Structure 1
C-alpha cells in the first residue's frame, strides 16, 4: 500500500509547500545564521566596517537592474556584485565602499544622461535610495564605531524596508530577490545592534 502524498490541511498549506514558496526567506535566514556562526564574537569596529563596506552594493544592484530594465537580470547582477565585493579588498588603491559608491554614481550619471527604461520618476526614486544608503554607509565608516553601528544598522534595516516595498509593488528587481534581500537586510541590522559587542 502506498503512502498518500502530502497535501494541505484545513489549518493551512503543508510545510513543504510553504517552504517551496518562501525559499528566499529560508535561504536568507540560513545565510545570516552561517554568517553569525562564522563571524563569532566580532569586535564592533570590525563588524561596522565590514557591513558598511558592503552596504553600497544594495542600492547599486537596484540601479544596475533598473538601467538594464529587466527584473530577470537581478540574480546575475547580484552574482557580479558579490564577486566585486570579494575582489575589491585584494587591491589597496581604493576602499571597497568608495569603489561601490563610485560605481553607483557612474550608473546614476549614465541614467541621467541617456535615460532609463522605467522612466524618470522611478529613476529618481532609485537615485534617492542610492544617495541615502551610500550616505549612511560612508557616515558609518567616518564616525566612532559605537555611533557607526547605529548608522549602518539603520542603512541595512531601511534597505530591508525598501526591498519589501519593491516586493509589494513588484517593481525593478525580481520578487524572489526582494524577499531574500529584505530578510537578510533586517537580520543584518539585528545582528549589528544585538549580536556584536
Structure 2
C-alpha cells in the first residue's frame, strides 16, 4: 500500500494497529476473560450510534467514542453495575428522549441496533463461555456490517462520521474473527 492510499485509508490502518495491539495484550486471556471483555464493550457500539443520531452531529462521533470508552472502563473499574446493562439502559433512555423531543433522524433503525447488539452481548455474557463466544462474536461481526451499511447506504450515511464507520467496521470484524479463533 503506497503512502497516498494509507493516508486516505487511515481509519483502516488505525483499526488494524489498535486491534493488533489489543490482540497482543490479550493473548494470554482465557476464553471466559475474552468473552467477558468483548461482551461488556459490545453494547457501547449501538449506544454511540444512538447518541450521535440524537445529537444530529456526525462531527461529534470521535469525541463521543472517547466519552463512551471512559464510561465503559469506568463502569468496569467501579464494579457497581453491569456495564452492558448500564449502556443498554442509557441507549433506551436516549431513544426515549429522541422519541419525545424529536431526533434529527428517526431513531427506529438505531433502536433495532440497540435491541440486536444488546441482546447478543447480554445473552453471550449469561451463557457458557463456549456458547457466549459465538453470540458475542456474531454481535461484533454483524456490527461491522452495520458500520458498512452506515458508510455505504444513502439513507444511513451521515449518522456517524464516515471515518468512524470505516474504522469501526474493520475493528468489529477483526474482533469477531478473533473470538471465533480463540482456543
TM over 0.5: yes
TM-score, normalised via structure 1 length:
0.89
Query: 1:152 corresponds to which residue?
Result: 136
C-alpha offsets along residues 4-51 of structure 1, whole Å, 9 cap, x if unaligned? xxxxxxxxxx70000000000000000000011111132111110110
Moved more, 56-65 or 162-171: 162-171
Give the 5 Å matches for 1:16-95: 16-95=3-82
**Alpha-carbon deviation of 1:140?**
0.2
1:110 aligned to which of 80, 84, 97: 97
Give the distance between the partners of 2:37 and 2:136, measured in 1 at CA: 10
1:174 paired with 2:158, answer no
Give the distance between the partners of 1:92 and 1:36, measured in 2 at CA: 24
C-alpha offsets along residues 123-145 of structure 1, whole Å, 9 cap, x if unaligned? 11111111100010001011111
Give the distance between the partners of 1:193 and 1:171, measured in 2 at CA: 31
Query: 1:187 corresponds to which residue?
Result: 174
TM-score, normalised via structure 2 length:
0.95
C-alpha offsets along residues 94-115 of structure 1, whole Å, 9 cap, x if unaligned? 1111111111111111112111
Aligned to 2:159, the other structure's residue is in SS state coil
**Alpha-carbon deviation of 1:163?**
0.2
Give the distance between the partners of 1:161 and 1:36, measured in 2 at CA: 21
Give the distance between the partners of 1:30 and 1:140, measured in 2 at CA: 26
Aligned to 1:46, the other structure's residue is in SS state helix
Give the distance between the partners of 1:193 and 1:143, measured in 2 at CA: 16
Moved over 3 A (4+): none
**Alpha-carbon deviation of 1:92?**
2.8
- Which blocks of at least 5 consecutive residues in structure 1 are unaligned? 1-13
Give the distance between the partners of 1:136 and 1:128, measured in 2 at CA: 12
Structure having the higher Rg: 1
